[in-house]
Amino acid sequence: MASLRRPVQPPGGHPAHDQDRRHHHPADRPPAPRQPGDRPLNRFGLGWGNPKLDPFVETPPPPELAWQLHGYGWWVLALCLAAVTARWARNSYLRYRANRYRRQALAWLDALPPYRVASPRPEYARVPALLRKVALCSDGRREVAPLSGRDWEAWLDSRCPGCDFAGRAHGLLYRLAYMPDPLSEIEMTQLLGQVRNWVRDHRRRDV
């Protein structure tokens, strides 16, 4: 009676079966044809990772957003903003150019040497003339030229509410311009503060 036991295969197995298994191993599988535009999910070569993910294709990214404006409303808004910006820039430039005399007068005051009663410098005697020149640039000769004395001080106070030429600094401009006796250091400091405030903060006639 013939034996029913199967013959024992060698440890290597059947050569045909081994070749078939090697053929179906993911590492030995031939690469699938790629379609134009496909990008494989696995960037580390075949045989790496989970072979079940090989058929998956990455989702393509959305198209880039365009920076151009869509719709007429956005173009109208952009034109309005450009017009407002241009008007603001023009007004700022005109204001800067119109206030040039202020900057020049303040620079002249800043360049004055220290005041000494014993030896007053002649530059300080020109402070009243500087103030009148600034007033002429601001309001014109017709309004400023006839003013003198208390009327001049009252007019200066009316153009700059923060100044007090007719009060605390009354008569200091006249004494500095015409009187031989020099002002004290306290009086000069007070007068220069009033002059500086008026040059910086006075209201122009055309404003």
CB neighbours of residue 98 within 10 Å: 14
pTM: 0.61
Separation between Cα atoms, residue 140 and residue 52, nearest integer Å:
92
Nearest partner of 128 among 200, 198, 67, 195, judged by Cα: 195
Collect all residues with Cβ–Cβ distance below 8 Å to 197 and sequence separation of at least 6: 160, 162, 163
Residues of the chain short of pLDDT 70, as ranges, are 1-49, 69, 206-207
pLDDT of residue 46: 57
pLDDT of residue 52: 75
pLDDT of residue 35: 55
**Alpha-carbon torsion 177, 180, 186, 189, what sign?**
positive
pLDDT of residue 23: 47
pLDDT of residue 91: 94
pLDDT of residue 28: 53
pLDDT of residue 1: 45
Using left for φ > 0, alpha for ψ between -120 and 50, and beta otherwise, residue 167 falls in alpha
Nearest partner of 170 among 152, 158, 184, judged by Cα: 152
pLDDT of residue 205: 73
